[in-house]
Chain A
Amino acid sequence: MSSTDFTWLIGGPQGSGVESGANIFSRVCAEMGYQVFGKREFYSNIKGEHSYFAVRVSDKKIHSNVNDVTLMASFDAETIFRHYKEVISGGGIIYDADLEDTTTDKVHTLDPPFRERLHKELESKNKPFSIAGVLEIAKENGVKLFPVSFKSILETLAEETENPRLKGLIRMYNVIGVSLSLGLVKMPPDSLQKTIGTIFSKKKEIAKINQQAANYSYNYSTAKFEGFDYSLTGIEKEPGTLLVQGFQGTALGKMACGCRVQPYYPITPASDESVFLESNEILEVIDDRPGSTAVIQTEDEICAMGMTIGSALTGTRSATCTSGPGFALMTEMLGWAGINEVPVVITNYQRSGPSTGLPTRHGQDDLLFSVFAGHGDFPKIVYASGDVEESFYDTGNIFNYADVFQVPVIHLMDKFIASSVVTCKRFDPSKISINRGKLLDKVEGEYERFALTDDGVSPRSRLGLDNGIFWNTGDESDEKGHITEDPILRVKMMDKRMSRLDLILKEIPDVEKAVSFGVEDMTVITWGSSKGPVLDAIEMLKKEGISIGLVQVKLLHPFPADYVSSLLKDTKTIIDVEANHSGQLGKLFKQNVPRDIDYFILKYTGRAMTSTEIYDSLKKIVENKAEKREVLMHGA
């Protein structure tokens, strides 16, 4: 059997159902046994600007998108203008035949720089500035065109079902696009019907008309379209497969590991996590009454962080979730949590900075900021997960770190992960161990919250505990927590807190610090979501007999210098891959390990890396044709 590697792209104006179209497609493919990796791209806009979803489907485990699009489903002109070039020879474009005459000047959302590039391209090929023009180029590239009038599909459907309302229901264009696509690849139609039923299970009437439209379009496609060589007819499904959205890993991890208060302030791409938590605020508990998560929408991120700390002082596992701008506002409080040894978790779904930056786009921009966040010296942990599945288990681990080491933990996630939809193995909550460290259940005798101890960690009381009274202050304090300016005590307290960094490096197991996927003469170091595209690129190179290693650093502060350098001791060339301008991991690495980074592969377009472009850059490095700093540019 030949292997499957198929990318389907759907695009349209924001608010037109691109996302639900992609959800249907992804779910059908996942139900039919395929591995799915989908990613959503969208503007900072609610209605009208272009958004798209690229869903990669494979019979093997995949960790990224590729540049090539096999089939594009479009129902507006802009999607064609923006993506026609991505479709490969032999691939297909399903499009609305009524749009052929649409010229670029009719599409107001084509921004000037893009419009200019497009016109240049069309001019150089002597094509008109219209859909017909770009489609001619696509055709010359070997792309197969599948025109269909979306309007007449609705009209016929309205007649056949004797439901004249359907005629104007352009909201169903997405379902039509999905169904035409699935017909074209000969996906068994039952799964499409079933999926629509599941997705609209709460709205029976809507489910019904969508199922009718799907049925009609699917049959139309199989009857009218021919000559498409790709098919997705289903493979054996691995039991226990989830189809999850990127933010669900940390959210489910928080539920499972006992995070019970999450204050937050809305920000893309972080708020989906909090909204999901609140939607599931009542929790089933084994052999006990129901539990709950209090998800509180606050007036700003400062309050979110303050509430998180206040809640943590009661012994409650507490977290907040934000993105760069919000995290910036939290930093004064981060220091307060540091000096008062309060275990809190800040989940930072990073996006492109600086400032508001590209607010809905990807970037691994906040690594150095997180490491150095807050004024003054205090211990904290910065930890990054590489994908959704990891993020579930990592969330469990980092709440333990917070409790055991009594430090704030910054969990770095990002937009790429947040807005991806992927298949992965069902999460196993029984693997979430819970270690609350020196949190006290009762206090006998004299109690001092900041008692100087051998390991630098003091037994921790909580607000409301009998006899456990303590004081906190952002000032330097004595053992009880009262203000002191005594120079000797200051040094003792500072040393005690900072000794926690060594303890962290000593106690956290190596496998949780960094993950080696093999070390070769040439080895990539990376962190966070860049792991996925690198893994897939390395796999592609392996097929050509080229071996490249990969080390994913997960504990970024305190930096596990000894472990990382021991992993890399036999490698000759180190390549840093990450999604920011300055190569922040590279800088951190160099600060901690006395070695230079030989090459950087960086991307800061705001779009996630594809494995194709990493493959290309790695190949250039292997062939000694690369710049020291390779900058990736793919993606609309």
Chain B
Amino acid sequence: MALKMADYKTDVHNDWCPGCGDFGIVNAIQMALAEMGLQRDKTAIFSGIGCSGKTSHYINTYGVHTLHGRVLTFAQGAKIANPEMTVVAVGGDGDGLGIGAGHFVAAGRRNLNMTYIIFDNGVYGLTKGQASPTLKLGEQTKSLPSPNTNYNVNPIGLAVASGFTFVARGYSYDVRHLKDLIIQAVNHKGLSFLDVLQPCPTYNDLNTRDWYAGTDLMDEAQKRHSRIYKLEDTGYDPVVHYNEESEVNEKLTQSLIKSLEWGNKIPIGVFYKNEIITPYTHRLRDKIPNYLENPPAKQNISKNGVSNTDISQILDSLEV
């Protein structure tokens, strides 16, 4: 029987602040899972620590709420051991781009076939509003004692530079569009990254829902999401179509340049997509021919309670 969106919801009480952008993201994930009809017990949501980290408890699949900054490490371990699982990792911008930035870069280089979604709210929500790595230099959100002294990280640019092969941005209040992006990300063959602009009404009084809607921009005040526009509406082509340096470099640079757009015009949609680069599981298969059919989690390691691994050849070589 086909699963409905409700089947992907748990009855755990959701304690995010009213109006939090996180609600839109968790809805979009549940809608995407339902639309793809993913089996609940073949899917795992991994999350970091932060307000965003609670996401895994609200989704009725396997859910692993990990440690601050470390979500990708757990998620990759599971995917390597059991490549048949659909793995989605989620977490905050502090989680993934501050304390976890090293893992972010390394995960890009590996390019495992899974998805990573960052809830980009410009603040450390759960620790009460300190600056996150995506907050711009000199900006002062509500609970900062003084303006931010750090330059911001560019999540899209960092992802592209690190080797992520699907890089996109969504907006938490455009749930349908976000749901479509999630489906594309999950179906992508390789590591996909979604930077989701997520208003935090409690601590980020700069990048609010109204700000994204452009209510402050006099001439465009009537249009919804007027700061935000969709790349796909502009004829932008994110896909690396063939394996030539010029093509790859062109698409890479194009996405980097696009990623720098901010202020009165903020692009969402797919920035970059490259399925020519092999996913990590295929690189493992190149060394271990039956890795995909007989991955670590599927291997039979004993017979009648005793080891069935035959190490006699190695022992022979050590015998004198």
Q: What is the interface of chain A, defined by CB distance below 8 A to chain B?
A: 27, 30-31, 237, 240-244, 248, 252, 255-258, 260-261, 263, 280-294, 296, 298-300, 302-303, 305-318, 332-333, 336, 396, 423, 426-427, 429-430, 432-435, 462-475, 481-483
Interchain CB contact (< 8 A) of B77 among A258, A300, A309, A475: A309
Partner of A240, one of B78, B301, B311, B319: B319
**Shortest CB distance A472–B (Å):** 5
Question: Nearest-CB distance from A549 to chain B (Å)?
Answer: 33
Interface residues of B in 45-78 (CB under 8 A from A): 46, 49, 54, 56-57, 60-67, 70, 72-78
Q: Could you tell me if B307 and A469 are in contact, using CB atoms closer than 8 angstroms?
A: no
One digit per residue, 1 when the CB lies within 8 angstroms of any chain A CB and 0 when it does not, for chain B 63-96 equals 1111100101111111111101100000000000
Residues of B with C-beta under 8 A to A298: 73, 106
- Which B residues from 285 to 320 make CB contacts under 8 A with A? 287-288, 290-291, 294, 296-297, 299-303, 305-315, 318-320
CB distance from B302 to the nearest CB of A (A): 4
A490 to B117, alpha carbons, bound, how many Å?
A: 31
Give the Cβ gap from B18 to chain A, nearest Cβ, in Å.
20
Do B306 and A300 touch across chains, with their CB atoms under 8 A apart?
no
How far does the alpha carbon of A283 sit from the alpha carbon of B288 in the complex, in Å?
A: 10
Look across to chain B and name the residue whose beta carbon is closest to the beta carbon of A241.
B320
Give the complex CA separation of A483 and B63 in angstroms: 12
Which residue of the partner chain A has the closest CB to B109? A299
Specify the chain A residue showing the minimal Cβ separation from B39: A466
Could you tell me the distance between the alpha carbons of A469 and B39 in the complex, rounded to whole angstroms?
11
Residues of A within 8 A of B294 (CB): 289-292
Contact B320 A237 (CB under 8 A): yes
Q: Contacting B307 at CB < 8 Å: which of A27, A248, A282, A432?
A: A432
Cβ 8 A contact of A471, one of B63, B297, B314: B63
Chain A residues closer than 8 Å to B106, beta-carbon distance: 298-299, 303
Smallest distance from the beta carbon of B180 to chain A beta carbons, Å? 26
- Does B231 make an interface contact (CB < 8 A)? no
- 24 examples of A-B residue contacts, CB within 8 angstroms: A31-B320, A242-B315, A257-B301, A261-B80, A261-B296, A285-B308, A291-B299, A292-B290, A294-B284, A296-B80, A298-B106, A306-B66, A307-B73, A307-B80, A309-B74, A312-B81, A317-B301, A429-B309, A429-B310, A432-B307, A434-B307, A464-B85, A469-B60, A469-B61
How far, in angstroms, from A423 to B40 measured CA to CA in the complex?
52
Which residue among B12, B291, B318 has the maximum number of chain A CB atoms within 10 Å of its CB? B318
Q: Which of B255-311 contact A (CB under 8 A)?
A: 284, 287-288, 290-291, 294, 296-297, 299-303, 305-311
Interface of A is mostly: mixed
Q: What 6 A-B pairs are tightest by C-beta distance, nearest first? A: A306-B73, A310-B77, A258-B301, A307-B77, A299-B106, A260-B296
A296 proximity list for chain B (CB < 8 A): 80
In the complex with contacts A299-B106, A474-B67, A482-B57, A310-B310 CB distance below 8 A: no
B102 within 8 A of A: yes
User: With A260-B296, A291-B309, A309-B77 in contact, is A281–B287 under 8 Å at CB?
Assistant: yes
Instruction: Report the bound CA distance from A483 to B73 in whole Å.
Output: 21
Q: Which of B81, B102, B303, B305 contacts A261 (CB 8 A)?
A: B81
Q: Residue of A at shortest CB range from B103?
A: A303
Question: Is B223 located at the chain interface by the 8 A CB criterion?
Answer: no
The smallest beta-carbon distance between A603 and chain B, in angstroms, is: 30
Q: Which residues of B contact A (CB under 8 A)?
A: 10, 12, 40-42, 44, 46, 49, 54, 56-57, 60-67, 70, 72-82, 84-85, 102-103, 105-106, 284, 287-288, 290-291, 294, 296-297, 299-303, 305-315, 318-320
User: CA separation between A12 and B45, bound complex, in Å?
Assistant: 55
- Check if B311 sits within 8 Å of A256, measured CB to CB: yes
Name the A residues within 8 Å of B64 (CB-CB). 310, 313, 463, 471-472
Contact assessment for B315 and A252 in the assembled complex, using a CB-CB cutoff below 8 Å: yes
Q: A311 contacts B80, CB within 8 Å? A: yes
Q: Which residues of B contact A434 (CB under 8 A)?
A: 301-302, 305-307
Take A285-B308, A311-B77 as given contacts and tell me if A469 and B62 are in contact as well, using a CB distance cutoff of 8 Å. yes
The distance from the CB of A221 to the nearest CB of chain B, in whole angstroms, is: 23
| Nearest Cβ on chain B to A366's Cβ, whole angstroms | 22
- A468: nearest residue on chain B (CB-CB)? B41
CA distance A473 to B53 in the complex (A): 10
| Complex interface: chain B residues within 8 A of A470 (CB) | 62-63
- Known contacts A396-B307, A433-B305; is-contact A260 B57 (Cβ 8 Å): no
Provide the bound-state CA to CA distance between A45 and B77, in Å: 33
Most buried by B among A30, A314, A315, A396: A314
Q: A313-B78, A314-B85, A426-B315 are in contact. Are A464 and B308 (CB under 8 A)?
A: no
A200 to B295 alpha-carbon distance, docked (Å): 34
Residues on B with C-beta less than 8 A from A241 are 319-320
Contact of A314 among B56, B287, B296 (CB under 8 A): B296
